[in-house]
Every structure is written in C-alpha cells, then in structure tokens.
Amino acid sequence: MLNIGYFMSEPVTKYYTNRVLFPSEREKLYDKFKDIIEPDLRLNRTLVSFQANKKEPFYRWFKYKEGFSKNLINYYLDKYADKNGHVLDPFAGAGATLFAARERGWVTTGIELLPVGIYSINARLAAEKANLTEFKKEIEKFWINFQNLKKSNNVINHISITKGAFPQKNEEQINKYLTTCKKITNGNLKTLFEFAAFCVLEESSYTRKDGQYLRWDYRAERSNGNSSFDKGEIKDFIHAVRNKLSEIKNDLDGIGELELFTTKPKINILHNPTLLEGTSLEILPKLDEETFNFVFTSPPYCNRYDYTRTYALELIFLNNNDIDVKKMRQSMLSCTVENKEKKEYLIDIYKGLNKETDFKKVDEIYNSIKAMTEVNEVLTILNKKGSLNNSNIPRMVKNYFYEMCFIIFELHRVLRERGIVIMVNDNVRYGGEEIPVDLILSAFAEKFGFKIKKIWTLPIGKGNSSQQMGKHGRSELRKCVYVWEKYYAL
C-alpha cells in the first residue's frame, strides 16, 4: 500500500481521520490499478538509466546521465511493437530512442528543448557522416595549427553560476582550442573536434554534476569554494581532449573498445531522425493527428532537478547567456522550484491554434482527478506547517502534473489507433508524503482514452534521501515503466 500520512504526528487532511473507514484518494487510486502493477524481473537501474549505454561508443564520449539505455528501448519494442512504424520521443534528450529505433528501421521523430541534447544529436549525425581518413589527417594538422596559434579568442563567456569553473590554465587552453577549431573547413569534422571539447568540460573543471546543481570543489575561487568537497583529479584540458579525440577516432575506425556502428547493416540510411527544437507543450499541439505508432519517452521527473544548472558548463559552451538560461528554465516542463505557472501560456497556445475546446477538456480532466486534488491539499498544509524544505514545492508539483496532463492529451491525439506509449518515470516524496506519479499520470491517460495495460516496476525501488530517512524513516518508491495503449478516440 502507499505510504501516505503514516509519518505525520497528526492528521493533515480529512482523509486521515479514520484510515480504515476513509482511505485516502491516493490509496483508492492504488486499489484501482494494483492488479496491473507488476515487477519486471528483467528491469534494473542500469537498464532504465544511461549506465547500460557505457558500452555504446557515442554515450561513452558524452555521458548524458538523464538518458535511458538502448537495450531498454529494444526490449519494449520487441515486447509491444509487432511491426516497424513511426516513433516519437517528446523528451528526446541525447536521442537514445531516435537512434535505437532507427537502427531497427523505424521512422523517428524527437522533440527537445535543452541545447545540450540537440547538440549531442547533431554531433552523432556528424560522426556518422565524417570521413575517417580525413578525420585522421585533420587531427595531425590540428595540433600543428594549435601550437602555431599566436592569439586566441575569448570563446567561453561565463554566466553567473559558472564563473571560476575552470582552472585558469584550462580555461585558456579551451579558448585556444576552440579558436583553432574555427580553421577547420569541413563542417562534420569541425563538429567532432568541438564535440570532443564539449565532452571533457566537466572533468577539466572544478565542478561535478549533482542532481539539482553543480557541486564545487574546495579549490574553486568562489564564495562556496571553501567547502569540504574534494572532486579528486582535475584533468588537464589538453590531455583530456587529446584522449577524447583518440577515443572517437578509434571507435570510428573499429579498433577501439567497440565499433561505433556495430549494427550498421541494420541502419535505415534513407532518413535521419527528425528533430523538432523547442518545448513539447508548444510543439505537440501543432502536430497532425494520428501520426505515430509508438511513443517511447522519459519526461523530466518531478524531483527538483534543474538541468539548466547541472549542464551549465555545456550551455555556456553553446553560447547561452544568463537571459537564455533563465528563459530556458521557465520553458522546460516544471520540475524545479523556480518554475512559474504556465496556465496563461498554455491558454495562449491553444487559443492561437483555435483549440480552446481542447484546453478546457484538459483543464477539466486535471481537476477531476481526486488524488491530484489531495496531493495539492496535503502539500499546501505541509508547507504551512513548515514541513517542506522549500516553500515552492507545492507550486512545482501542481505545475508538473498540470503540464503533464496536456502532454498526455496530445500524445493520445497524435497516436494512431492501438498506438502504444512507453513512459519511464519515478515516484517522488516530499515532507514524508509519497506522490504516486505513476498512478496520477495513468489516471489522466485513462480519462483521455488510453487503456492502462501495465505499470512495470523495478524489483528494487528507489530509496528516499538521507534527509528524508532521518525525519520519516526508510521506505522505497516505485521506479516504473508505464504501458498505455490508445484504446479509443475522444
């Protein structure tokens, strides 16, 4: 059963007055779906994360930790797709779905807002097109040009949260390297050289990605640089980028640990993935109805992770300034405490497309789910009691589900009859209260005409944080893969 309210010193809503006679709305929702919640013994944390991609050359070049594995995509395509078709990933990230499905002959379309993912996808396409002989020659010529360069440009322009991120020598070398890259005339090769630098930014900096933010080494020259965190070795940039170029070259050559295109004969070379740049909240309503056979995706989790902070070094590498980053943060699906409400923004989108009826339908469905109302009420009360570590958590959670309600409606609309959605997501907990993301999103999906075929769970769930355990005890949260089928049109 759900761990709801058991850790509170007193009841926080009317649902907790008598738990036997008056089960909470979340418990009712669990009872409704419990027969289709089932552990999949083949699932593990490695499979549903980027870790299983470590043996895939491209994903060894750049560790995009928010992705899931190629093996997971293949597993569920084998399980739920009887033939090839057109697959959509509305949160494409670095393109795992797009490239894995394309290798199997699928037509693939992705939507991505974060420039880090967009750049990574384009770099992979450049790697596919690059001439290996020319790449080897360019490497030899590059280092001669690098040594002979007398003046470099200030290519890296910092934003407030990245100032002091690199040792001075490394920053100078990065600027010199990128200035030298401008001499490369072949577009695909230039992209590969720049991408090599992109891939080693973190290891040659004082920072480490740590979920909600960048963690800074004690040696950094900034106000929080006197912390006790010791990152360990901070690699020399030139040494790191030379190794990365060598790794890329060897993988392309097939003499490294793995060949880049071990499945090359299967790749459908008739098309590249279609990549739509921007937010799914705005792009999905513009897509034609019944276009796709399959959706495979993992949206941002409702866990406060701010990708514009964790990928701040990569964003400044791609010439994003403070204004760009702040705008990007607000455009993303609400998953951080800084996100503002997007209701008016969504109204404008649907009005502009003459789809006010669709907006009203989604808004009504969101407000009809009693478990959602309960979550919002409980978090508001916890906030008033001072039980949340950030007062904007209730707003973030409300916004997250409201926006996901629109995403789910649009996925149903753009799928063909009997089309399948595979969605990877985690449940979360705030102030000791479990937020059953899997159940609430599935309740939305059912209202829109999806049949909830299965909620697969990992055999071992996700533990709560040490801070949460200290206050509320140890308990697990479900890590899930939802399977929804378009059962009827609205």
Query: Are the C-beta atoms of residues 117 and 64 closer than 8 Å to each other?
Result: yes
The string of pLDDT tens digits covering residues 147-170 is 999 998 889 999 999 999 999 999
d(CA 293, CA 27) in angstroms, rounded, equals: 33
Q: Across residues 15-33, what is the average pLDDT?
A: 70
* Length of the chain as a residue count: 490
Q: Which pLDDT belongs to residue 19? A: 36
Backbone angles phi, psi at 377, to 5 degrees: -65, -45
Of 443, 437, 435, 430, which Cα lies nearest the Cα of 471?
A: 430
Query: Are the C-beta atoms of residues 280 and 407 closer than 8 Å to each other?
Result: yes
Q: Which pLDDT belongs to residue 48? A: 74
Q: How many CB atoms within 10 Å of residue 412?
A: 24
Please enumerate in sequence order all residues whose Cβ is within 8 A of that of 159, keeping only pairs 6 or more positions apart, or say none: 312, 315, 316, 320, 321, 322, 325
Query: Are the C-beta atoms of residues 12 and 18 closer than 8 Å to each other?
Result: no
The string of pLDDT tens digits covering residues 305-328 is 999 999 999 999 999 999 999 999
197's tokens: 């630098």
Q: Which pLDDT belongs to residue 471? A: 53
User: What residues does 112 pair with on adjacent strands?
Assistant: 277
Q: How many CB atoms within 10 Å of residue 49?
A: 18
d(CA 385, CA 471) in angstroms, rounded, equals: 15
Q: Which pLDDT belongs to residue 461? A: 54
Say which amino acid occupies 245.
L
The string of pLDDT tens digits covering residues 443-478 is 999 999 999 999 999 987 554 444 544 454 446 899
d(CA 152, CA 163) in angstroms, rounded, equals: 19
Q: Which pLDDT belongs to residue 226? A: 54
Please enumerate in sequence order all residues whose Cβ is within 8 A of that of 377, keeping only pairs 6 or more positions apart, or say none: 13
Q: Which pLDDT belongs to residue 121? A: 96
pLDDT at 68 over 90: no
Residues 454, 102, 58, 198, CA torsion sign = negative
Give the SS3 label for residue 85: coil
d(CA 453, CA 445) in angstroms, rounded, equals: 11
In the structure, what pLDDT confidence band is assigned to residue 487 with cuts at 50, 70 and 90?
confident
Query: Are the C-beta atoms of residues 92 and 73 closer than 8 Å to each other?
Result: no
pLDDT at 350 over 70: yes
d(CA 54, CA 49) in angstroms, rounded, equals: 10
* Poorest-pLDDT segment among 8-22, 34-48, 277-291: 8-22
Give Dmax (Cα) for the chain: 80
Torsion on CA atoms 268, 415, 74, 36, rounded to nearest 10: -170
On the 0-12 / 13-18 / 19+ scale of CB atoms within 10 A, 268 is middle
310's tokens: 């964790």
pLDDT at 262 over 50: no
The string of pLDDT tens digits covering residues 363-403 is 999 999 999 999 999 999 999 999 999 999 999 999 999 99
Cα distances (Å, whole numbers) of residue 64 to 54, 94, 186: 10, 7, 26
Give the SS3 label for residue 476: strand
Q: Which helix (H) or strand (E) covers residue 454, if one does?
A: strand 450-457
Alpha helices per DSSP H over 183-262: 187-199, 237-253
CA-only gyration radius of the chain, Å: 24
The string of pLDDT tens digits covering residues 250-260 is 999 875 443 44
d(CA 88, CA 226) in angstroms, rounded, equals: 46
| DSSP line for 143-189 | HHHHHH-----------TTTTT-S-HHHHHHHHHHHHHHTT---HHH
Q: Across residues 46-57, what is the average pLDDT?
A: 65
Of 402, 481, 484, 489, which Cα lies nearest the Cα of 446?
A: 484
The string of pLDDT tens digits covering residues 191-236 is 999 999 999 999 999 999 987 788 999 999 775 545 688 999 999 9
pLDDT at 412 over 70: yes
